[in-house]
Amino acid sequence: MHLTDDDLILRFYGETSPDEQRRIDEHLRTCSACREGWSELGETLRMVDAAIVPEPPEGFERIVWARVAQQLPEQRSGWTWRQLVPVLSFAAVILAIATLGLQWWAAVPASPDQVADATPGGRGPSTTERVLLTALDDHFEQAERLLVEVMNAPDGADAGSDYERVAADDLLASSRLYRLTAEQTGQRQFVQLLEDLEPVLVEVARRPERVDQQEIESLRTRIDDDALLFKVRALSHEIRERQQDIMTTNEGGL
């Protein structure tokens, strides 16, 4: 029995198993009709190689870049995840030290002046609160960036990049510490938002490499329904206002 065209094509492109290849090669040695077909196939496909592809005009790369650049998002001025990981870790350690310090301080009997500082009419927010505000400012900025990426990633089978997973994991680790500190300093609105964010961060951090489109949509619906992006932006704005107030108070006190 002669070889089929399909056999020859698969053999030409090296898509046959070793056994199949041996069978085809042995047949070609003994069958002149199939050998002719094989030879014609080779010649045809070598001619295909000779087909000309016109070169684009000179300066093509510059023209392409000019067009592509217009469609790219604005260049990020913030830090990258890789840069932020050590900074956030450092901030978390500082915050932990400040929290422990506060607990120790609270255990020591306070002088009247110190009590006055801690009361609403006192000279201002505690060190822990200031550190917390700074840390949360970064934390919410990164959370916002991650949420935007989850919401805007192009549809496709493989979501869940390493980049997003690592970012979510880092945010999750620092979130727990910040939530604890916010609870201890009575910052209820921060506690609430950190709690709302956590399930989303857990889901992104634990995503497999390939995610069903339905799961991506479900996550996006949850982010939308909980108005997470809006809440993150609103609280980030409040944090910056409070930081500004602290700076103004400090300048006034000098």
Partner 1 sequence: MKQMQLDDAAAVAKARGGDHEAFRTLVERHSRSIYRLAYRMTGRPEDAEDVVQETLVRAYRQLSRFESRANFATWLYRIGFNCAIDYMRARPHRESTEPHETLDRMPAGGHTPSMDDLVYAGEISERVQEALNELSAQERAAFLMRHYHGCSIDEICSALDLKSNAAKHSIFRAVKKMRIALRPLMKAGVGN
Gap between the Cα atoms of 250 and 248, Å rounded: 5
Gap between the Cα atoms of 101 and 108, Å rounded: 11
156 makes contact with partner 1 (CB under 8 A): yes
Gap between the Cα atoms of 209 and 234, Å rounded: 32
Q: Which residue has the tokens 């870049």?
A: 65
44 makes contact with partner 1 (CB under 8 A): yes
138 with 171: CB under 8 angstroms?
Answer: no
Residue 120 Cβ vs partner 1, minimum distance, rounded to whole Å? 43
Residue 15 Cβ vs partner 1, minimum distance, rounded to whole Å? 6
Number of alpha carbons in the 13 Å side-chain half-sphere of residue 244: 6
**Among the listed residues 133, 243, 138, 144, the one whose alpha carbon sits nearest the alpha carbon of residue 189:** 133
In terms of CB distance, is 30 or 75 closer to partner 1?
75
Looking at residue 72, what DSSP letter applies?
Answer: S
86 makes contact with partner 1 (CB under 8 A): no
| Region binding partner 1 by CB under 8 A among candidate stretches 18-26, 147-155, 177-185, 211-219 | 147-155
43 makes contact with partner 1 (CB under 8 A): yes
Q: Binding marks (x or -) toward partner 1, 10..39, rule CB under 8 A?
A: x--x-x------------------------
User: Footprint of partner 1 on residues 157-196 (CB under 8 A)?
Assistant: 157-159, 161, 163-164
Looking at residue 158, what DSSP letter applies?
Answer: -
Gap between the Cα atoms of 93 and 86, Å rounded: 11
55 makes contact with partner 1 (CB under 8 A): yes
42 makes contact with partner 1 (CB under 8 A): no
* Positions that interact with partner 1 (CB under 8 A): 5-6, 9-10, 13, 15, 40-41, 43-45, 47-56, 60-62, 64-65, 67-69, 71-73, 75-76, 80, 82, 149, 153-154, 156-159, 161, 163-164
